[in-house]
Chains A and B, each alone.
Chain A
Amino acid sequence: MAKLILSVDGQVLKEHTLSKERTLIGRKPHNDIQIDNLAVSGEHAAIITILNDSFIEDLGSTNGTLVNGKPVKKHFLQNNDVIEIGKHKLKYFNDAPSQAGAADFEKTMIIRSPAKAAPPPVAAPAAPAASDPAASISRTIPPTPEVRAAAPPPVQPTAPQDHAPLPDAAIQVLSGAAAGRTLDLTKNLTTIGKPGLQVAVITKRPNGYFITHVEGGTFPSLNGTSLGATAHPLGDHDMIEIAGVKMEFFFKP
């Protein structure tokens, strides 16, 4: 569950877990997070929490609310955001994906209308005000223990940035009317050839460049060998022949 750490001048005052749908911040005692300072309005800001997402909303305060140094009216909070109210700072922590049960994190789940939903496992917080945008949102059905037990262990997906950055590459046309022209391979997909006659696509993937036949009765050739229907990795100075035109693939220095 997401939390806020309240501090002033680098001194931590308290930690607050965002367990309610609506958390009030202000100077008066009825606020969930009370900051007793004259720079803070009586009801200064509210944090609306919907499952794993939280939003901060300034409630028309006199001195305003800053997030990461910028004044906000409404803001969708992200992990490590810093909220400033007067001289007080509230740091937002939301590490839901890395917490236990992360295996369930991206499993599709159903949330149902309150009428049909099973009673929530914890006592429901007081009904929010009718104007609250979260009021119409029902609660998620908690995954059953069986689901958790059966869920596969969390595997860290390989993000594209795990790979060494792919060098830029280009194609130089060696024969035909366009001989001498080079074509930079900047897009993820680049088609070469003549539409209707013979077309191939060069795909830029995290692990390299690949060439695949797209259309035409005969296959293009790579270094003199017919491509066939499958994708082939491209190496520096590979020779491609397509629709009667020769071209060379190369990595840019």
Chain B
Amino acid sequence: MNISQALQSASLTDPGRVRDHNEDCIESRPEIGLYVLADGMGGYNAGEVASGMATSLIADGVVEGWVPREVDRLSREEAMALADKLLREQIARANTAVFTTSQNNPECAGMGTTLVVCVFYDNFVCVGHIGDSRLYRLRADTLEQVTRDHSLLQEQLDSGLITPEEAKLSQNRNLVTKALGIDPEVEPELHVHETVEGDLYLLCSDGLNDMVDDEEIRLTLVTLRSNPSLSVQQLVQAANDNGGRDNVSAMLVSVTEPFGVPRGWFARFKALFR
């Protein structure tokens, strides 16, 4: 099964209506089912340096370590473990690179970035994230937030200090508790989820979910299900129509058919000769 046939994707990034430059960055490697989104922060234009470094380093690093011909010989559990290990390694490598650059270049001091990264393989998705960039999943007609923000607001919600309704009024919505490239080390959050045919996965920066509420995101994804590129255009447009106060990025991955890896003795035998 060729993964790029099973997954249909579309993405769009936009500076929004207030900012004059875009600190968000997106990268994808559809041939191995890899999607990366980062929202940079820091002085001058350093935010986009951080997000650009993180996305390209992680994308290239994962491509190098994830050779489909070799991964296909692993068991499903081994493939999951490899995805997890590889993402951790590449995130750590990107973190070191961004951190070192910010230490050595005064104009980049204090830069960092949030991150959400997905690797799709054998009917599962391995998701890593840092900060408040999100992954949503639309399954049937239900939208679910897969990642939990590493943010002050999420901590307040978890501790019961504020309710989800009150959270919408909070003035503290822009504070993340974790970011890539800020400290010598970073602990990403990684999880593996099973995918189902028909699922839609949406990676987005906070410029989308701060401006467009979850119900409107859901309605857009359900209504325009058959056309991912129109969906992302519509989402970015809705964020801009609602004020567009931040950079907006959306990457949509549609699971159009199952992408399980055949594991019978014949498939293994055939794999030997590839």
Contact = CB atoms under 8 A, between A and B. Distances in A.
Interface of A: 50-53, 55, 76, 78, 94, 96-97, 105-112, 116, 133, 136-137, 140-141, 143-144, 146-147, 150, 152, 155, 157-160, 187-191, 195, 199, 201, 203, 205-206, 212, 214-215
Interface of B: 17-20, 39, 41-44, 109-110, 112, 114, 131-132, 152, 155-156, 159, 161-162, 166, 169-172, 174-179, 182-183, 206, 216, 219-220, 223-224, 226-227, 230, 234, 237-238, 241-246
A144 B43 contact: yes
B91 to A, nearest CB: 16
A46 B216 CA distance: 38
Contact of A158 (B17, B220, B230): B17
B256 to A, nearest CB: 13
Contacts of B234: 189, 201, 203
A44 B234 CA distance: 51
A111 B152 contact: yes
Contacts of A203: 234, 237
Given A51-B152, A159-B243, A188-B216, A109 B224 contact: no
Contacts of A136: 155, 159
Nearest to B210: A106
Q: Which 7 residue pairs of A and B lie closest in terms of their CB atoms, listed nearest first?
A: A52-B171, A157-B243, A147-B43, A215-B226, A76-B166, A108-B41, A189-B223
Given A157-B244, A214-B227, A112 B169 contact: no
Among B155, B206, B230: residue with most chain A CB under 10 A: B230
A111 to B, nearest CB: 5
B225 to A, nearest CB: 9
A251 B247 CA distance: 34
A160 B212 CA distance: 12
Contact of A150 (B43, B112, B156, B230): B43
B259 to A, nearest CB: 22
Contacts of A140: 175
A41 to B, nearest CB: 23
A205 B241 contact: yes
Contacts of A212: 230
Contacts of A107: 41, 174
Nearest to A110: B179
A108 B176 contact: yes
Contacts of B152: 50-51, 111, 137
Contacts of B220: 188-189
Contacts of A188: 216, 219-220, 238
A22 to B, nearest CB: 13
A160 B242 contact: yes
A111 B177 contact: yes
Contacts of A159: 243
A185 to B, nearest CB: 13
Given A108-B132, A137-B152, A189-B234, A147 B110 contact: yes
Contact of A146 (B20, B44, B182, B224): B44
A191 B84 CA distance: 40
Contact of B223 (A76, A133, A191): A191
A76 B169 contact: yes
B172 A51 contact: yes
A106 B18 CA distance: 11
Given A53-B162, A147-B43, A188-B219, 4 more contacts: A76-B169, A105-B174, A146-B109, A206-B241
Nearest to A203: B234
A164 to B, nearest CB: 15
Contacts of B238: 188
Given A187-B219, A205-B241, A53 B171 contact: yes
